[in-house]
Structure 1
Amino acid sequence: MSLVQGVYGVRGNLELLACDARDGLWVFWFNADLDTDPLETPDVPPGSWSAGLAFAAGHRYVDAQILQSALGPNHLEVLALTEDGVLQSWFWSPGPGFQRRVTDAATAVARFHATHDEGALFVTVERVDGARSHLVSCTSDYPSRGWFEAVDGPGFPEDAAGAVIDAGIASDTVQPGTARSASSTRDGGTTELTWRDASGAIRHLGVPTL
């Protein structure tokens, strides 16, 4: 599960990506605008989540990450890890929607984390044998991407279960390993917490940044 603040809306909507338990991926968006802002999406008023959009059918995924791209305009990047260790590369653009690239980022992957900088993607992968490597994908062939070995890359984020519990959520309602934390500019600065509860449902809580 992954959340990022995007560029859509007056104040930057939130984009949430989640793996289906059996097949494919889901994306949702949160309207971060205020009631006083122009209403662009009557079906998703300010302060509410959209219905989910399913895509990437045909694979079972164990992790996925969504990133706001500087390219496009306003494209989104998705990296999605299948249960057999293939790290797929996707992007979203207005009109066509989500499209999988021909070239995958890596294989034999156990876990990964990515960052974005001016259109380039930097990825750290941990292989199934425990070895770590770093990859970079530049913008020269965008929207296609090639992947090259790099000398450094992002670290792996810590599990956010502690932050979720500190925010008042009972620990036995947070599925282990599912809690994530992201920052947004909502309300002057907000820590966006997401997790799966005991039933598997996705939960979200915004905590003001002190």
Structure 2
Amino acid sequence: MSSTPLTAPPLAIGLAQSVYGERGNLELVVPNRDRGFRVLWCNGDDAESGGVPPRGWSAGLDVDTGGLVQGVRIAQVPHGPSFLEASLLQEGRAARWTWRPDLGFVPGGVIGPSTCTPSAIVAHDGRLHVLTAGDTEVVHHVARIESFPDLSWVIGGGIAAAGPVTSVDLVSRLGRLHALVVSGGRALVHDLAAPEAAPAPIEGRLRTAMLTGSPLAAVGLDADGMLVGVGSPPTGPLDAVDAVLSSLDGGTLEVVALRGDELLHARTGRSGFAPIGRRGVLGA
């Protein structure tokens, strides 16, 4: 039996496919060692772009948020147009940072208190949605987009949890919002359009989990930090993982994992895990 505690909010990284480039680049965010977070992108095109070869990864760009970031997620939204939204955990609060083509990443304000990394920000039904966590409850925040990129978050509901929440995820699939909540090692998928319905369990004792695919499937880390939901995982425990279904090469599951300071990327069914970069240190 694992001796690793399941109640401590784990480190979190974020991966998404953007609309940038001809085919849609991959965007990766990872907490720095000291403060802020690092951004890398994978060239999805068939030709070199910005000095990055096809399917290659860029060097890291550091964003100084002024404090220690414990986890960060990223999403492409259809507003701005086509801004990227980062949601992060810093000093017990979920905060938003927005990437604009003219300014880069700029602060977007506090979403609310949270005990673990918030979900990625999801566009659904003409509004933006994000999840944060309390000790035994997940909070669903909603924002109207008429004044985007300025947002005002209101609470749109909550999900009770059996114990401390270590991971939350949110996806929009087939016109419905689905929330994945990991609490006490158990992962449950909730349909937010049917709060009275029993949540669907995901097998295994997990620390973190992210929803991928349709029908819903999950990739995550178990109690020992071992990767689950991927056919050929790397050997040994990991510190964080995220995955996204991409349109590259006819459709792939892209997985990025963090082990120590090293970032590893795999395109399942096409390439195994290989190093792509490292966590940043901003220094004094």
TM-score tier by shorter-chain length is 0.7 to 0.9
Count of paired positions: 197
Q: What residue ranges of structure 2 are gaps of 5+ in the alignment?
A: 1-12, 159-176, 182-209, 211-217, 222-226, 271-284
Q: Does 1:147 align with 2:153?
A: yes
Q: Which amino acid aligns with 1:95?
A: D
Q: Which amino acid aligns with 1:61?
A: V
How many angstroms apart in 2 are the aligned matches of 1:134 and 1:85?
Answer: 17
How many angstroms apart in 1 are the aligned matches of 2:80 and 2:105?
Answer: 13
Q: Which amino acid aligns with 1:44?
A: V
How many angstroms apart in 1 are the aligned matches of 2:269 and 2:241?
Answer: 17
Q: What residue ranges of structure 1 are gaps of 5+ in the alignment?
A: none
Q: CA deviation at 1:137?
A: 1.3
How many angstroms apart in 2 are the aligned matches of 1:81 and 1:28?
Answer: 19
Q: Does 1:200 align with 2:208?
A: no
Q: Which amino acid aligns with 1:6?
A: S
Q: 1:135 to 1:169 in 2, by over 3 A?
A: same
Q: Which amino acid aligns with 1:205?
A: A
Cα RMSD (Å): 2.0
Whose RCO is larger (CA < 8 A, sep 6+)? Answer: 2
Q: Does 1:76 align with 2:137?
A: no
Q: Which amino acid aligns with 1:11?
A: R
- From 141, 163, 178, give the equivalent of 1:135: 141
Structure with a larger share of its residues in helix? 1
Q: CA deviation at 1:130?
A: 2.3
- Percent identical pairs in the alignment equals 28
Q: 1:9 to 1:204 in 2, by over 3 A?
A: same
Q: Does 1:99 align with 2:106?
A: yes
Q: Which amino acid aligns with 2:111?
A: A
Q: Which amino acid aligns with 1:64?
A: V
Q: Does 1:89 align with 2:96?
A: yes
How many angstroms apart in 2 are the aligned matches of 1:48 and 1:99?
Answer: 26
Q: Which amino acid aligns with 1:113?
A: S
2:86 and 2:120 in contact (8 A); partners too: no
Q: 1:46 to 1:168 in 2, by over 3 A?
A: same
Q: Which amino acid aligns with 2:14?
A: S
How many angstroms apart in 2 are the aligned matches of 1:148 and 1:4?
Answer: 25
* Corresponding residue number in structure 2 for 1:110: 116
How many angstroms apart in 2 are the aligned matches of 1:168 and 1:3?
Answer: 17
Structure with a larger share of its residues in strand? 2
Q: What does residue range 153-172 of structure 1 map to in structure 2 within 5 Å?
A: 154-156=179-181, 157=210, 158=218, 159=220, 161-164=227-230, 166-170=231-235, 172=236
Runs of 4+ in 1 over 3 A off after TM superposition: none
How many angstroms apart in 2 are the aligned matches of 1:168 and 1:75?
Answer: 32
Q: Does 1:183 align with 2:241?
A: no
How many angstroms apart in 1 are the aligned matches of 2:120 and 2:55?
Answer: 28
Q: Does 1:30 align with 2:42?
A: yes
